[in-house]
Chain A
Amino acid sequence: MIENRPWLTFASHATLLTGIALVALPVWMALVASTHPASAFGVGHIPLWFGDAGAETWGTVLFEKAGNGVDTPVWFMMLNSLIMALGITFGKIAISLLSAYAIVFFRFPFRNLCFWIIFMTLMLPVEVRIVPTYEVVANLDLLNSYTGLTLPLIASATATFLFRQCFLSIPGELVEAARIDGAGPWRFFFDILLPLSRTNIAALFVILFIYGWNQYLWPLLITTDDAYYTLVMSIKRMLSVTDGDIAWNQIMATTLLAMLPPVAVVIGMQKLFVKGLVDSEK
Chain B
Amino acid sequence: MTDVILEKVGKTYPNGYHAIPSVDLSIEEGEFIVLVGPSGCGKSTLLRMVAGLESISTGELRIRGERMNEKEPAERDIAMVFQNYALYPHMSVYDNMAYGLKNRGMAKKMIEEKVSDVAAMLGLTELLQRKPRQLSGGQRQRVAMGRAMVRDPKVFLFDEPLSNLDAKLRVQMRVEIRQLQRKLGTTTLYVTHDQVEAMTLADRLVVLNKGKAEQIGTPMDLYNKPATPFVAAFIGSPSMNLVDANLTEQGIHLSETLTLPLSHQHRGDIVWGIRPEHLEVSDERNADFALRIQAVESLGAETLIHGKIETEFGNGEPMVVRLSGPHLPEVNSLMWLTAPMSHWHLFDAKTQQRL
- Considering the chains assembled together, what is the distance between the CA atoms of A176 and B84 in angstroms? 12
Stretch at the interface among B85-93, B221-229, B342-350: B85-93
A177 and B74: CB pair below 8 A? no
B89 and A191: CB pair below 8 A? no
B103 and A177: CB pair below 8 A? no
Q: Is B133 an interface residue (CB 8 A)?
A: yes
B83 and A180: CB pair below 8 A? no
With A177-B80, A179-B53, A179-B72 already in contact, the answer to whether A281 and B86 are too (CB < 8 A) is no
Within 8 Å CB of A179, what residues of B? Answer: 52-53, 72-74
Q: Is A95 an interface residue (CB 8 A)?
A: no
Closest to A176 in B: B53
Closest to B131 in A: A281
Within 8 Å CB of B87, what residues of A? Answer: 177
Interface residues of A in 161-192 (CB under 8 A from B): 171, 173-174, 176-183, 187, 191-192
A182 and B84: CB pair below 8 A? no
1/0 contact string of B90-113 vs chain A (CB within 8 Å): 110000000110011000000000
Q: Is B78 an interface residue (CB 8 A)?
A: yes
- Considering the chains assembled together, what is the distance between the CA atoms of A198 and B86 in angstroms? 19
Closest to A188 in B: B103
- Considering the chains assembled together, what is the distance between the CA atoms of A173 and B80 in angstroms? 10
Task: Give B87 Cβ to nearest chain A Cβ, in Å.
Answer: 8
- Considering the chains assembled together, what is the distance between the CA atoms of A153 and B78 in angstroms? 46
Interface residues of B in 139-159 (CB under 8 A from A): 147
Q: Is A282 an interface residue (CB 8 A)?
A: yes
Q: Is A195 an interface residue (CB 8 A)?
A: yes
With A187-B103, A191-B99, A281-B133 already in contact, the answer to whether A180 and B80 are too (CB < 8 A) is yes
Interface residues of A in 239-282 (CB under 8 A from B): 281-282
- Considering the chains assembled together, what is the distance between the CA atoms of A183 and B78 in angstroms? 14
Interface residues on A, range: 10 to 19
With A171-B86, A173-B86, A176-B53 already in contact, the answer to whether A181 and B133 are too (CB < 8 A) is no
Q: Which of A176, A181, A191, A192 has the most CB of B within 10 A?
A: A181
Task: Give B47 Cβ to nearest chain A Cβ, in Å.
Answer: 11
Q: Is A220 an interface residue (CB 8 A)?
A: no
B99 and A180: CB pair below 8 A? no
- Considering the chains assembled together, what is the distance between the CA atoms of A183 and B72 in angstroms? 11
Interface residues on B, range: 20 to 34
- Considering the chains assembled together, what is the distance between the CA atoms of A179 and B91 in angstroms? 16
Q: Is A196 an interface residue (CB 8 A)?
A: yes
Task: Give B161 Cβ to nearest chain A Cβ, in Å.
Answer: 12
Task: Give B177 Cβ to nearest chain A Cβ, in Å.
Answer: 18
- Considering the chains assembled together, what is the distance between the CA atoms of A282 and B89 in angstroms? 7
Within 8 Å CB of B99, what residues of A? Answer: 178, 181, 183, 191
B89 and A177: CB pair below 8 A? no
Within 8 Å CB of A177, what residues of B? Answer: 80, 82, 86-88, 147
Contact of A182 among B89, B91, B104, B147 (CB under 8 A): B104
A176 and B82: CB pair below 8 A? yes
Q: Is B309 an interface residue (CB 8 A)?
A: no
With A181-B100, A182-B100, A183-B99 already in contact, the answer to whether A176 and B86 are too (CB < 8 A) is yes
1/0 contact string of B254-287 vs chain A (CB within 8 Å): 0000000000000000000000000000000000
Task: Give A280 Cβ to nearest chain B Cβ, in Å.
Answer: 10
Contact of A173 among B79, B84, B91, B147 (CB under 8 A): B84
B103 and A183: CB pair below 8 A? yes
Q: Which of A180, A183, A196 has the most CB of B within 10 A?
A: A180
Q: Is B46 an interface residue (CB 8 A)?
A: no
Q: Is B5 an interface residue (CB 8 A)?
A: no
Q: Is B199 an interface residue (CB 8 A)?
A: no
- Considering the chains assembled together, what is the distance between the CA atoms of A192 and B91 in angstroms? 9
Contact of B84 among A171, A180, A183 (CB under 8 A): A171
Q: Is B51 an interface residue (CB 8 A)?
A: yes
Within 8 Å CB of A180, what residues of B? Answer: 51-53, 73-74, 78-80, 100
Task: Give A36 Cβ to nearest chain B Cβ, in Å.
Answer: 53
B74 and A281: CB pair below 8 A? no
- Considering the chains assembled together, what is the distance between the CA atoms of A181 and B84 in angstroms? 16
A195 and B100: CB pair below 8 A? no
With A180-B51, A181-B99 already in contact, the answer to whether A192 and B88 are too (CB < 8 A) is yes
Within 8 Å CB of A178, what residues of B? Answer: 88, 99
Task: Give A281 Cβ to nearest chain B Cβ, in Å.
Answer: 6
Q: Which of A177, A198, A282 has the most CB of B within 10 A?
A: A177
Closest to A177 in B: B86
- Considering the chains assembled together, what is the distance between the CA atoms of A177 and B99 in angstroms? 10
Task: Give B140 Cβ to nearest chain A Cβ, in Å.
Answer: 13
With A182-B104, A191-B99 already in contact, the answer to whether A174 and B86 are too (CB < 8 A) is yes
Task: Give A112 Cβ to nearest chain B Cβ, in Å.
Answer: 16
B74 and A173: CB pair below 8 A? no
- Considering the chains assembled together, what is the distance between the CA atoms of A198 and B99 in angstroms? 19
Closest to B153 in A: A180
Task: Give A108 Cβ to nearest chain B Cβ, in Å.
Answer: 15
Within 8 Å CB of B80, what residues of A? Answer: 176-177, 180
- Considering the chains assembled together, what is the distance between the CA atoms of A180 and B153 in angstroms? 11
15 intermolecular pairs with C-beta atoms under 8 Å apart: A171-B84, A173-B82, A173-B84, A173-B86, A176-B73, A177-B88, A179-B52, A180-B51, A180-B52, A180-B53, A180-B79, A181-B74, A191-B88, A192-B88, A281-B133
Q: Which residues of A are in contact with B by a Cβ distance under 8 Å? A: 171, 173-174, 176-183, 187, 191-192, 195-196, 198, 281-282
With A176-B73, A177-B87, A180-B51 known, 16 other A-B pairs at CB within 8 A are: A173-B84, A173-B86, A177-B80, A177-B82, A179-B53, A179-B74, A180-B52, A180-B74, A180-B79, A181-B74, A183-B74, A183-B99, A192-B90, A198-B90, A281-B133, A282-B89
Closest 3 CB pairs of A and B: A182-B74, A181-B100, A173-B86
